[in-house]
Copies of this chain bind each other. A is one copy, B any other.
Amino acid sequence: MGIHERKEREKERRRQQIMVAAKRVFSVNGFSKSTMEDIAREAELSPGTIYLYFKNKDELYASLSLRILQYLNVRIKHVLEDRNLQPEQYIDALKQAMFDVYDFDSLIVINLFQLQSSETLKNLSPELLEEIIELSRTSLRTMASIFEMGIQRGIFIDKHPFALADILWALFSGIILWEESKKIINEDKDYLKVTLDLAFELLERGITR
């Protein structure tokens, strides 16, 4: 392993260290109530150091969302490319992918939406913004491909695949958000998995020819 490579790895480790701390702090306090000093303290670093790895607060925040999108993207691709799946298993596989994304980082799924305000986007570097946009597009496109394939094989009803992809994603994230809200306003038990299961079941019934 060359010296350069080791340094790169070290640098990446630091980025991860900061992101882990940031995730923890943002999760507890939300974006605007979290200070860079809080994050620095959590990461056991000085505020200045964070700025060696992230351009500003918004970009640090966005990079957390980026990670989730990357993970989502990979998981969805696997579904599309899985040759072992029977046609009727696609919805289930997608459900599982989304469950995994949620398990990977439940709070950041919620933050993905806060991210997408022009307010925040203005402070992002063009490269990061482009990456986020590109990943979102790719994920949707892949989901649409799955539906298209299903339609061609006569499994799914003949509706616009992109719209189906949108609905799937909206349903998933909407439920997560809503359950999160209910924790605050309703003190209900945690029905999340139940609700998600039911939602996907209904969707499958609705979508299947």
Contact = CB atoms under 8 A, between A and B. Distances in A.
A191 B167 CA distance: 11
Counted per complex, copies of this chain come to 4
Contact of A173 (B33, B178, B205): B178
A180 B180 CA distance: 20
A166 B186 contact: no
Closest 9 CB pairs of A and B: A174-B174, A30-B119, A206-B206, A202-B206, A170-B174, A116-B181, A205-B206, A170-B178, A170-B175
A99 to B, nearest CB: 16
A163 B184 contact: no
A50 to B, nearest CB: 17
Interface string A161-181: 011101101111111011111
B181 A113 contact: yes
A29 interface: yes
Interface residues of A, number: 53
A120 B117 CA distance: 17
Nearest to A172: B174
Interface in A62-109: none
Nearest to A164: B198
B121 A195 contact: no
